[in-house]
Amino acid sequence: MKEELLEIIQKQLEISEIQAIEAVRGGDINEAFRLSTPNKNYFIKRNSASQFPNMFEAEAKGLQLLSETKALRVPKTLAQFDFEDDSLLVLEFLDFANPNRDFWPKLAEGLAALHKRTNEYFGLDHHNYIGNLQQSNRQHQSWADFFVTERLEPMLKMGLDQGEIHKFDLGLFDRCFSLLDDFFPPEKPSLIHGDFWSGNFAMSTKEEACAFDPAVYFGHREMDIAMSKLFGGFDPEFYKSYEHFYPLEQAWEERVDMANLYPLLVHVNLFGGSYFAQVKQILKSYD
C-alpha cells in the first residue's frame, strides 16, 4: 500500500505505530488488508475512486443503518477517504470463529430484528452498490414496481449492453414482469441486508452473529431469505428459527426463484453469462 495512504490512516486514527500491513482475503471486488498496531488491528478496503465513485461512502452508510437496529454485530466504520484515485474504507477488525450450533438461531433472530425495521417506501434515500455494480434505490410505494424498475430492468439492460443477454430472451422477462403485481405477499418495506449470502456473515470469537458488506435498502424481506438459498442454503436451523421470530407468509419457498432473479442477473453482469442459464430456467418455469 502507498506510503501516503498509510500516513493518512495513521493520522486519522491517531495511530502511533504500525507494526504490519498484509493483504487478506476480501472477496472479488476490493483489495483488502489487515493493519496491525500494538493495541488493535484494522480492516482496510481499497478500490478505485474514479471507477466506483462513492462506493465506500455508501457502504459506510449501510453499515450505520444496520448498526442502528442493534440486530446484528457489524464492524464500526473508523475512516473513509479518497486520495488521488484510491478510495479507502477503514473498519474495526472482527475476529471470527467457526459457527457453533447456537449460531444459526442467533443469526436468524438478528435478521428477523433487522427486517422488523420498516419504512413507508421501498428503496432508500441514497443509491449504493451491490458488488461493484451501482444499485438504484429510487423510492416506490409498490414492491412490484420497485423490483422491476430499480432491480431487474437495470441489470437486464446492462446484460444486453455487455452482450451477455440476447434480445430474443426479452419476451421471457415480459411474461415474468406481468406476474409480479400479485406474486409477492403485501408487506411493509423491511430494512434488508441486500447481499445476504454465506460470504457476508460470520460468528465472532465472542459468539456474536456478524454481518458485513451490505447492499441495504428497504425491500421485501423475502429477498434476503431467497438469497440465503442461492448457493445451497444455510443450516435448516436458520430457517426454523427465523420462522419462530418473524413467520413468513405461506408458500415462501415457491417465491425464492423469482426473488433470486436479481442476484443471478447481478452475477451475469459481474462474472459472465454462464449464470444466465439459471435465469432462463427460472423464467421458463413461469412461462
pLDDT tens digits along 13-55? 999 899 999 999 866 789 999 999 998 999 999 999 999 999 9
Structural domain span for residue 45: 3-92
Residues 53-67 as b/e (b if ≥16 CB within 10 A, e otherwise) read ebbbbbbbbbbebbb
Please identify which of the residues 125, 145, 169, 195 carries the catalytic annotation.
Answer: 195
Cβ atoms 196, 111 nearer than 8 A: yes
Please give the C-alpha separations between residue 159 and each of 173, 175, 203, in angstroms, as whole numbers.
Answer: 13, 18, 35
Cα radius of gyration (the chain): 20
108 and 20 both lie in a single domain: no
pLDDT, residue 232, reads: 86
pLDDT, residue 27, reads: 66
pLDDT value at 121 more than 90 = yes
Confidence of residue 253 (pLDDT cuts 50, 70, 90): very high
67 and 147 both lie in a single domain: no
9 and 42 both lie in a single domain: yes
166 and 181 both lie in a single domain: yes
d(CA 83, CA 88): 8
Which CATH number fits the domain that encloses residue 134?
A: 3.90.1200.10
What percent of the chain is modeled with pLDDT above 70? 99
Count the Cβ atoms, other than its own, within 10 Å of residue 205: 9
- Residue with the bigger pLDDT between 76 and 272: it is 76
Which CATH number fits the domain that encloses residue 41?
A: 3.30.200.20
Nearest Cα to 215, choosing from 148, 285, 150, 165?
Answer: 150
46 and 12 both lie in a single domain: yes
46 and 67 both lie in a single domain: yes
d(CA 159, CA 274): 12
Residue 224 designated active-site: no
- Residue with the bigger pLDDT between 33 and 2: it is 33
pLDDT, residue 2, reads: 87
46 and 153 both lie in a single domain: no
Confidence of residue 114 (pLDDT cuts 50, 70, 90): very high
DSSP per-residue string spanning 86-99: EEEEEEEPPPEE--
277 and 153 both lie in a single domain: yes
pLDDT, residue 69, reads: 97
Please give the C-alpha separations between residue 165 and each of 152, 162, 170, 265, 274, in angstroms, as whole numbers.
Answer: 13, 8, 9, 10, 10
d(CA 150, CA 190): 16
156 and 277 both lie in a single domain: yes
pLDDT, residue 26, reads: 65
Pairing of strands 201-204, 209-211: antiparallel
Mean of pLDDT values over 167-190: 93
Total domains present in the chain:
2
φ/ψ (deg, to 5) at 15: -90, 130
Mean of pLDDT values over 274-285: 92
166 and 279 both lie in a single domain: yes
147 and 177 both lie in a single domain: yes
pLDDT value at 119 more than 70 = yes
DSSP per-residue string spanning 47-92: EETTTSTTHHHHHHHHHHHHHHHTSSB-PPEEEEEEETTEEEEEEE
- Helix extents (H) in 125-169: 143-146, 153-162
Last residue of some domain: 76, 92, 108?
92
Confidence of residue 240 (pLDDT cuts 50, 70, 90): very high
Last residue of some domain: 29, 57, 92?
92
66 and 168 both lie in a single domain: no
d(CA 62, CA 214): 6
Last residue of some domain: 45, 65, 92?
92
Predicted TM-score of the model (pTM) = 0.95
Nearest Cα to 195, choosing from 164, 171, 228?
Answer: 228
Provide the total of helices (H) and of strands (E) in the chain, helices listed first: 11, 12
pLDDT, residue 272, reads: 84
pLDDT value at 217 more than 80 = yes
pLDDT, residue 68, reads: 97
